[in-house]
């Protein structure tokens, strides 16, 4: 079979074993740019299929008792195995958090929204989109409503990005369960935190999670206003606006005078005195 015929076959075959076999016979090093794009699209469809199969296997693992090893017949529990995520993490050398996320996505996709699984098997959605749908429908306990929401998403599932998909699901959930959306927001804000992480390249990050939107927006507007004023006044260091914002952000949190935050040269820091007082037990007169 010629290369052109093989590519035409790859383009027409549905995701599955036949497409996998056809793809294995195409050498990307022999293709031009246009052909490579077509090949990548076909491989992505096949990947969606394989990821769907992965979710099915993970879902089965979640109901497989650990003590059934060596059994001559297939055994499934009626309740989920709480240790499935640990077994999965060990088998794949993943963190338990990542394994638990995959288990949750598998349970939601296979049992709660089977139309999403069908879309994956058809090559219209991958694991990333399945995870978005699973996360956003976590508070929708009514299975019929969850499936109705997915049915509304199916026509455009293959054409939207994960960010667009998340927004669409949230809008639909808000129409169905506004109270649950508010409850989810309250619970999320209660988990707000700040984290500091250092990187191997000698830099670091400082991030805040689950902040209320109004406070986060106010903080961003404050940082952005100072950064834009700094750039308008002229920046001798020639920094871009993102760099200035980052310097303003770090300076404000470090206690630098707001009028000097984000300056091109190191800004003066407000004086801070750390006083340690030792407590000495002293006898008091009776």
Q: What is the pLDDT of residue 3?
A: 82
The mean pLDDT of 27-51, rounded to a whole number, is 95
Examine the pLDDT at 25 and tell me if it is beyond 60: yes
The pLDDT tens digits of the residues spanning 107-119 come to 999 999 999 999 9
Instruction: Give the integer Cα–Cα distance in Å for 263 and 253.
Output: 14
Examine the pLDDT at 283 and tell me if it is beyond 60: no
Vertex 84: Cα angle to 173 and 114 (nearest 5): 35
Of 23-27, 63-67, 150-154, which range is least confident?
A: 63-67
- Please give the C-alpha separations between residue 82 and each of 101, 137, 250, in angstroms, as whole numbers: 13, 21, 42
Vertex 180: Cα angle to 175 and 185 (nearest 5): 105
Q: Looking at per-residue confidence, does 83 or 110 come out higher?
A: 110
The pLDDT tens digits of the residues spanning 140-166 come to 889 999 999 999 999 999 999 999 999
Examine the pLDDT at 76 and tell me if it is beyond 90: no
Examine the pLDDT at 256 and tell me if it is beyond 90: no
Point out which residues pair with 197 in neighbouring strands.
Answer: 205
Q: What is the pLDDT of residue 273?
A: 54
Query: 105 in helix, strand or coil?
Result: helix
Q: What is the pLDDT of residue 69?
A: 55
Percent of the chain with pLDDT over 90: 60
For the chain, the domains span 3-190, 212-253
Instruction: Give the integer Cα–Cα distance in Å for 172 and 155.
Output: 15
Examine the pLDDT at 70 and tell me if it is beyond 80: no
Biggest CA-to-CA distance, the chain: 105
pLDDT band at 61 (very low <50, low <70, confident <90, very high): very high
Examine the pLDDT at 218 and tell me if it is beyond 90: yes
Of 5-14, 97-106, 153-162, 181-190, which range is least confident?
A: 181-190
**DSSP code string of 4-52:** HHHHHHHHHSPSSHHHHHHHHT--GGG--HHHHHHHHHHHHHHHHHHHH
Write down the pTM of the prediction: 0.72
pLDDT band at 237 (very low <50, low <70, confident <90, very high): confident
């Amino acid at each position: 079979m010629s290369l052109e015929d093989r590519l035409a076959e790859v383009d027409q075959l549905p995701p599955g074993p036949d497409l996998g076999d056809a793809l294995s016979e195409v050498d990307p090093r022999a293709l031009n740019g246009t052909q490579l794009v077509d090949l990548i699209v076909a491989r992505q469809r096949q990947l969606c299929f394989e990821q769907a199969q992965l979710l099915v296997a993970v879902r089965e693992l979640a109901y497989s008792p650990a003590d059934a090893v060596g059994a001559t017949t297939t055994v499934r529990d009626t309740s989920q195995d709480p240790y499935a995520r640990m077994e999965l993490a060990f088998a794949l050398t993943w963190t338990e958090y990542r394994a638990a996320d995959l288990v949750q996505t598998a349970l939601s996709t296979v049992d709660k929204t089977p139309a999403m699984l069908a879309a994956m098997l058809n090559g219209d959605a991958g694991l990333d989109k399945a995870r978005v749908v699973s996360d956003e429908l976590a508070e929708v306990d009514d299975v019929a409503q969850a499936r109705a929401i997915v049915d509304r998403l199916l026509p455009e599932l293959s054409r939207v990005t994960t960010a667009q998909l998340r927004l669409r699901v949230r809008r639909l959930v808000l129409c169905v369960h506004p109270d649950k959306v508010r409850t989810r927001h309250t619970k999320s804000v209660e988990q707000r935190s700040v984290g500091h992480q250092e990187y191997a390249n000698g830099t670091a990050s400082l991030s805040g999670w689950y902040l209320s939107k109004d406070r986060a927006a106010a903080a961003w507007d404050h940082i952005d206003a100072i950064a834009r004023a700094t750039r308008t006044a002229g920046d001798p260091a020639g920094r871009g606006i993102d760099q200035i914002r980052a310097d303003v952000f770090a300076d404000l949190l470090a206690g630098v005078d707001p009028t000097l935050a984000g300056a091109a040269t190191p800004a003066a820091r407000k004086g801070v005195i750390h006083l340690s007082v030792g407590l000495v037990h002293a006898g008091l007169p009776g």
